[in-house]
Amino acid sequence: MNPRYDAIIVGGGHNGLVAAAYLARAGRKTLVLERRPLIGGAAVTEEVFPGFKFSVFSYVVSLLRPGIIRDLDLPKHGLQILPLESTVTPLDNGDYLAGWADPDETRRELCRHSTRDADASIVFGRLMHHMAMAVKPILRMVPPDPASLAPSDLRGLLKLGGHFRSLGPERFHALHKLMTMSSADYLDEWFEFDALKATRSASGIIGTFLGPRSPGSAYVLLHHYMGEIDGAFRAWGFQKGGTGAISETIANAARAHGAEIRTGAAVERVIVKGGQATGVALEGGEEIQAKLVVSGLDPRLTFTRLVEPKQLPEDLVDGIRRYKFRGSSGKVNLALSGLPNFTCMPGQGPHLRGAISISPSIEYLERAYDDAKYGEFSRHPYMDIVIPSMIDPDMAPPGKHVMSIFVQYAPYQLNGGWNDAKREAFGDTVVKTLARYAPNIESLILHRQVLTPDDIQRITGLSEGNIFQGELALQQLFFLRPVPQWAKYKTPIHGYWQCGAGTHPGGGIMGASGRLAALEILGANP
Amino acid sequence: MASAYDSHPEREYAAIRSSAALIDVSPLHKYRIQGRDALKLLDRMITRDMTKLKKAQVYYTPWCDGHGKVVDDGTVTHLPDGTFRLTSADSSLRWLHMNAVGLEVGIEDISDRMGALAIQGPLSRAILTGASPADLSKLKYFRMVETKVRDIPVTISRTGYTGDLGYEIWVDGSRAVALWDALIEAGTPYGIVPAGVWALDIARIEAGLIMLDVDYFSAHHALIEARKSSPYEINLGWAVSKEKGPFNGDRALAAERKRGAAWGFIGLEIDWESFERLFAGRGLPPQIPSVAWRSSAPVYKDGKHVGYATSGCWSPILKKPLALAHLRAPHFSEGTRVEMEVTVEHHRERAAAVVHKLPFYDPERKKA
């Protein structure tokens, strides 16, 4: 006879692990089931090439919530976030634009290009600070349903209304613009130097099928500043050992509270009896009973694969069908015999310890998007490059390096579909693009791992390879994530819950979805 | 000593805890003590039992005046040739000579002639192993070895001021710069980073290691009695031998042992939520300087002044604000809830804090 659990978490991604840790901490007998041989979902570290460790998919820690760090005592379980604080954008004229950790250095650098922008940057930073302060409380809030008259929803809406009213008209208007404009237009209002606008707007397009000129892309600019107001928590950075070590850290916390974690255990379906989830069936036939089943998988898998869509209301299933994934990014991981030599900043230097952004102009980014719009990967893609071994030398053998290249755009729906030849062509494009700025790169490559959205889907299960379990676009955020009325982690099936990044607030190694889901579950099942 | 080599000292700190940092600790005062009565001199001076210090072993120890109040703290190394090396934060030549009255001993201030570099961090052993023929896997905590780094004669002690795996390398001043270059070269593939005192300060607070003139004052410099501390009052009671023969302050210390110390030196973990609330009250996210603070902050228990914190920092690895504090008996037991004064936007406020045993951070690799 199988043991009976209070809760089974389907999927050992970081949100599933966070949910498991919170449930176990509240005394619930919790089991996490992960299909792959290692936990972490898209936050995994793998030795893809002997001696070289890669954060294969997700590669930086962005907004891991300070509350989670404290509640689960993650520092005790292995959390160690190293600073990753500069961004260098090589320019086509052989110059560069750098943003350093030190604000004065950054200002001096900006003045080289535009004193006006250097001035504007400070005022812009202040506005973004206020915007981020305005939005931040939402990250730890279960989204109230504006169409509902339930007392809890009304209370939530009232709180939210009060919160926004307290911003004052100026900031409220700014927030509205930020929510609706394109990042290019928004930044045009502030800055004149093209590479600066391009590099900043890049954060607005990551993981979405939007270009810098697409309306709605401005909002994600805020994420960077939200990291900043977490201040000393410095939740923005590089976890020692790669993102897999974050997953291990959360798993250690969950285990310390008594949770069990099984890998190589693929859940085939959730067992539903009389509208109530009673457990899961694994591939291979094993059935495990539990009072609750929590899916950390994305909304498509949660509602159309783990359960029969016919067990769900039609409008929910329709909503899930309309929910946009559209993976738009790929990843190239390189094992290097030495360090790249950038023409704009020859030799070794601090720039190799931060991000290198291939975003020389807004037009460059928009053209990269144009290719994707018509079903091709970008001939000249946007790339966000880090060399993790420069920050954590344990990632590669001494003197050797690993390079992580996030690449956009690589559409999931590629003309003619992805295959081995297309994957390699995509990899070649990435290396060739980088070689324009760091000509020695090709001679350094010991091993190359290319991951297309198709590969991301195949390996991690993320539908259409979308790294956020669905686009972080305004029509899919907050009380609309993943669909209206089912944005509060609950599902129409009793005892079946959702906790992945496909729920509010979603995306990035933030853990907030997992935490809020667990708290909702505990509230509903005291 | 450099404050920092990088405009962003956070990276220097990160190296101490993640890869390796190279720190110039040459500003320490260093003395070579030899002669028939060298051991006798040191035994008279320090609170630990010199007769038990083996060759190639290092003591960390305080030393006191005749009233059992701490003058300074430092290390004593029993060198393989039978002589001794003393390091101190403060210049100690006069005190050494005063203690040497009637003894046959040679005291030599070698501060200017000897360089010292600390290599600290999880990869420090790997780096030194690649640069030195010594078998460092066998070198235990607070032991030393005479060896070479490249072709430079050095002594390496497994000591440091960071609470991490680490070594201090002692070198003739004429080869000190060459040693620095050799270690940077050997360490670069392992991510070695030069680090200054800002980074070191955060590491030593996490490790609960005191600093003279910051956390306590030398009995020789204190203007008033209240500024003096006994070893028991600065968490160094463990370093006072109860068995050894007569030494400076022994009777006062024995009496203090009997009646119990009036003060304790402990760690404070400042409650983040209470701290955050104080800032939120002013419309701000919590503001924390990236370097450690070194000023006095009153500590209260149930509204009553019970002590003061002397230094503190945000701990990047523990993700907590920490402080080192002196608390009056009986308020220094672990888990005691107190309040520490913090200044928030020009207002003096009190943040909740809990007494924590030192050190805050103690990785296994330090001694493993």
Q: Tell me, yes or no, whether B253 lies in a domain.
A: no
What is the tens place of the pLDDT at every residue in A323-334?
999 999 999 999
**A316 lies in the same domain as A346:** no
Judge: B126–A85 Cβ closer than 8 Å, yes or no: no
Query: For A80, which of B17, B126, B288 is closest by C-beta distance?
Result: B17
Judge: A232–B314 Cβ closer than 8 Å, yes or no: yes
- Give me the residues of A, 42-71, that contact B with CB < 8 A: 66, 69-70
Q: Which residue of B has its CA nearest to A136?
A: B285
- Smallest CA–CA distance, residue B317 to chain A, in Å, is 6
CATH of the domain at B39: 3.30.1360.120
Q: Is A218 helix (H, G, I), strand (E, B) or coil?
A: coil
Q: Which pLDDT value is given to residue A1?
A: 45
**B285 lies in the same domain as B192:** no
| pLDDT surpassing 90 at residue B130 | yes
Query: For A392, which of B18, B316, B317 is closest by C-beta distance?
Result: B18
Judge: A353–B11 Cβ closer than 8 Å, yes or no: yes
Judge: B18–A83 Cβ closer than 8 Å, yes or no: no
For β-strands B304-315 and A401-408, DSSP reports them as unpaired
Judge: A82–B14 Cβ closer than 8 Å, yes or no: yes
Instruction: For residue A446, give every residue at least 6 positions away whose Cβ sits within 8 Å of its Cβ, in sequence order, or none.
Output: A49, A52, A334, A335, A336, A337, A400
How much of chain B exceeds pLDDT 70, in percent?
100
Looking up tokens 């990236």 gives B290
Q: Cα–Cα distance between A140 and A134 in angstroms, integer?
A: 12
Judge: B285–A80 Cβ closer than 8 Å, yes or no: no
What is the tens place of the pLDDT at every residue in A337-380?
999 999 999 999 999 999 999 999 999 999 999 999 999 999 99
Nearest CA-CA partner of B312 in B249, B274, B360: B360
| pLDDT surpassing 80 at residue A230 | no
* CB contacts, 8 Å: A80 with chain B: 17-18, 317
| pLDDT surpassing 60 at residue A237 | yes
Q: Tell me, yes or no, whether B362 lies in a domain.
A: no
Judge: B288–A232 Cβ closer than 8 Å, yes or no: yes
* CB contacts, 8 Å: A101 with chain B: 7-8, 10-11
Question: Which residues are A31's β-sheet partners?
Answer: A8, A260
Q: Which pLDDT value is given to residue A235?
A: 60
CATH of the domain at B315: 2.40.30.110
**A257 lies in the same domain as A220:** no
Q: Tell me, yes or no, whether B211 lies in a domain.
A: no
**B184 lies in the same domain as B281:** no
**B96 lies in the same domain as B201:** yes
Q: Which pLDDT value is given to residue A3?
A: 58
Q: Which pLDDT value is given to residue A101?
A: 86
Judge: B126–A233 Cβ closer than 8 Å, yes or no: no
B288 in contact with A at a CB cutoff of 8 Å? Answer: yes
Judge: B314–A229 Cβ closer than 8 Å, yes or no: no
DSSP label of B310 = E
**A189 lies in the same domain as A297:** no
- Give me the residues of A, 222-281, that contact B with CB < 8 A: 229-234, 240
Average pLDDT of chain A to the nearest whole number: 93
Which residues form the domain of B156? 9-206
Give the DSSP H or E segment for A129: helix A115-139
Instruction: For residue B35, give every residue at least 6 positions away whose Cβ sits within 8 Å of its Cβ, in sequence order, or none.
Output: B103, B104, B105, B106
- What's the domain count of chain A? 3
**A374 lies in the same domain as A430:** yes
**A289 lies in the same domain as A261:** yes
Q: Tell me, yes or no, whether A286 lies in a domain.
A: yes
**B177 lies in the same domain as B88:** yes
Last residue of a domain, one of A190, A210, A233: A233
| pLDDT surpassing 50 at residue A477 | yes
Start-to-end CA span in chain A (Å):
27
Query: For A232, which of B19, B286, B317 is closest by C-beta distance?
Result: B286
Candidates A126, A225, A234, partner chain B, best to mutate (most B CBs within 10 A): A234
For β-strands A355-358 and A287-295, DSSP reports them as unpaired
Mean pLDDT on B307-323? 96
- Smallest CA–CA distance, residue B310 to chain A, in Å, is 21
**B342 lies in the same domain as B199:** no
Judge: A392–B126 Cβ closer than 8 Å, yes or no: no
How many CB atoms sit inside 10 A of residue B36's CB?
10
Lowest mean pLDDT among A146-155, A204-213, A245-254, B128-137: A146-155
**B201 lies in the same domain as B301:** no
**B64 lies in the same domain as B189:** yes
| pLDDT surpassing 60 at residue B354 | yes
What is the phi/psi pair of residue B279, to 5°?
-75, -40
Query: For B319, which of A233, A393, A394 is closest by C-beta distance?
Result: A233
Q: Tell me, yes or no, whether B279 lies in a domain.
A: yes
Last residue of a domain, one of A204, A233, A262: A233
- Give me the residues of B, 177-236, that contact A with CB < 8 A: 188-191
B342 in contact with A at a CB cutoff of 8 Å? Answer: no
B364 in contact with A at a CB cutoff of 8 Å? Answer: no
Q: Which residue of A has its CA nearest to B189?
A: A399
Judge: B19–A75 Cβ closer than 8 Å, yes or no: no
- What's the domain count of chain B? 2
Q: Tell me, yes or no, whether B270 lies in a domain.
A: yes
| pLDDT surpassing 50 at residue A387 | yes
Q: Tell me, yes or no, whether A463 lies in a domain.
A: no
Q: Which pLDDT value is given to residue A28?
A: 97
| pLDDT surpassing 90 at residue A131 | no
Farthest-apart Cα atoms in chain B, separation = 67
For β-strands B263-270 and B192-194, DSSP reports them as unpaired
Mean pLDDT on B261-275? 97
Q: Tell me, yes or no, whether A131 lies in a domain.
A: yes
CATH of the domain at A72: 3.50.50.60
Q: Confirm whether pTM is higher than 0.90.
A: yes
Are the beta carbons of B234 and B70 closer than 8 angstroms? Answer: yes
Candidates A72, A107, A337, A394, partner chain B, best to mutate (most B CBs within 10 A): A394
Which residues form the domain of A281? 5-42+61-80+238-324+471-524
- Predicted ipTM? 0.92
Q: Cα–Cα distance between B76 and B58 in angstroms, integer?
A: 6
Q: Tell me, yes or no, whether B134 lies in a domain.
A: yes
Judge: B319–A79 Cβ closer than 8 Å, yes or no: yes
Q: Tell me, yes or no, whether A433 lies in a domain.
A: yes
Judge: A353–B8 Cβ closer than 8 Å, yes or no: no
What is the tens place of the pLDDT at every residue in A153-178?
888 888 888 877 778 888 888 888 88
**A311 lies in the same domain as A336:** no
Looking up tokens 């410099």 gives B221
- Smallest CA–CA distance, residue A72 to chain B, in Å, is 12
Q: Tell me, yes or no, whether A220 lies in a domain.
A: yes
Are the beta carbons of B310 and B215 closer than 8 angstroms? Answer: yes
Judge: B191–A393 Cβ closer than 8 Å, yes or no: yes
**B117 lies in the same domain as B199:** yes
Q: Is B368 helix (H, G, I), strand (E, B) or coil?
A: coil
How much of chain A exceeds pLDDT 70, in percent?
98
* CB contacts, 8 Å: A393 with chain B: 19, 123, 189-191
Are the beta carbons of A525 and A292 closer than 8 angstroms? Answer: yes
Q: Tell me, yes or no, whether A94 lies in a domain.
A: no
**A173 lies in the same domain as A228:** yes
Q: Which pLDDT value is given to residue A151?
A: 86
Judge: B10–A83 Cβ closer than 8 Å, yes or no: yes
- Give me the residues of A, 345-374, that contact B with CB < 8 A: 350, 353
What is the tens place of the pLDDT at every residue in A59-116?
988 788 899 999 999 999 999 999 887 999 999 999 999 999 888 999 999 999 999 9
| pLDDT surpassing 60 at residue B177 | yes
**A282 lies in the same domain as A298:** yes
Q: Which residue of B has its CA nearest to A69?
A: B319
| pLDDT surpassing 60 at residue A196 | yes
